[in-house]
Structure 1
Amino acid sequence: MNGPSHSHREPQTPPEQAPVAVALPQPYRSTPVFDEISLPAALRSAHSLKAGTWGRICVIEGQLKLTYCDTHEQVLLSPEVSGLIQPQQLHFVEPLGPIKMRIDFFDTQPDG
């Protein structure tokens, strides 16, 4: 007595492709974490980054108002919303109550 035949085979599915890791730009430098008291006066007044340098303002706690001087656009930054600064773009920040923030510097445009 022979058992049931196992000649039926499930179709082979190709192995899943491993996700391709995209190398995101990494900051070459970051500031210390500032609060509303230690935030330098230079960042509270109009200033810009040098040519070839991008900045990302990262709010860890609280809210910070970023003003772009050329367009007078104001952006409310929070832990969910970071601020992108282009090379030589005149801007300043203003803390809105207690904050913790830092700035990451890049030599290429960062994501977001």
Structure 2
Amino acid sequence: MHSPTASPTASAATSPAAVTEADLRRLVHTFYARVRQDPLLAPLFESHVDDWDAHLETLVDFWLWLVLKKEGFDGSPMPKHARLPGLGWAHFERWLELFHCTTGELQVPALKDTVDAMARRMASTLWQNYQKHNPASAWLRDMPAGLSSYKRSPVFTPANLPAAFKAAHSIKAGTWGLLRVHSGALVFTLDAQPPRTLLLDAGEQLVVEPQVPHHVTFVAEGAFQIDFHR
């Protein structure tokens, strides 16, 4: 995620000149290798990036422009991010978490001091713009009127989660599910084209519509349960 509309400057304590092109190139490649393995972010990126080699070069150009003021980037990521379906702040939080983890592991203090603050401002700007263009939530949180609960699943944890739940599956016609997360965190993925992901934390719930392919992935120790309605 990137945005040329915001031009954050480095902190006063660190000069961007201390950061090299090689540092930024290594950051981009290491960070996005991690993103592509993340259960929340990977479906989003993989469904919108056709050529990763070209995309990585664009991202390198963006960070070179942002940090070192090097010419070569002419993209328009702000409207592209606004058109992505089903984004939530949790996606940006996870992006930032992985970004900060990567800058820490690279052990280049000048790089970390310079780009971490930029990334935080970037995520905030992108999210504000996304909300402006997508005011309505695409996720159904409450069961439609007229349905009654008739069955409740066992409590599922990482230890007993059926393999079928980890792959694309759906609830039968006429039956709705109310997924409740009791503890931990769970990524719910709609297996559509493009896929959409949602991070559910403890205490949150989500309505699962009939015959809609989806799968779930634990991202932390936890537990969830499903109430079935018809």
TM superposition score normalised by structure 1? 0.70
Please state if 1:77 is matched with 2:200.
yes
Q: Percent identity?
A: 36
More helix by proportion, 1 or 2?
Answer: 2
C-alpha displacement of 1:92: 0.2
Cα distance in 1 for residues equivalent to 2:225 and 2:203: 14
- Structure number with greater Rg is 1
Deviations 1:65-93 (A, max 9, x none): 00001141101112232121111000000
1:61 aligns with 2:190: no
Instruction: Give 2:48's aligned residue.
Output: none
Q: Secondary structure at the match of 2:211?
A: coil
Q: Which runs of 5+ in 2 are unaligned?
A: 1-144
Q: Which residue in 2 is equivalent to 1:97?
A: 220
For structure 1, the 5+ residue unaligned runs are: 1-22, 108-112
SS in 2 for 1:35: coil
Relative to structure 1, the CA distance from residue 26 to residue 78 in structure 2 (aligned partners, 3 Å threshold; closer, same or farther) is farther
Structure with greater proportional strand content: 1
- More divergent stretch after superposition (92-101 vs 75-84): 75-84
- Residues 4-47 of structure 1 show CA distances to partners (whole Å, capped at 9, x for unaligned) of xxxxxxxxxxxxxxxxxxx8744210111111111111111100
Partners in 1 of 2:210 and 2:181 — Cα distance? Answer: 20
Question: Which of the numbers 170, 190, 210 marks the counterpart of 1:48?
Answer: 170
CA distance in 1, matches of 2:217, 2:210: 20
After the TM superposition, which parts of structure 1 deviate over 3 Å for at least 4 consecutive aligned residues?
23-26
TM-score, normalised via structure 2 length: 0.35
Q: 5 Å matches for 1:15-54?
A: 25-54=147-176
Instruction: Name the Cα RMSD after superposition.
Output: 1.6
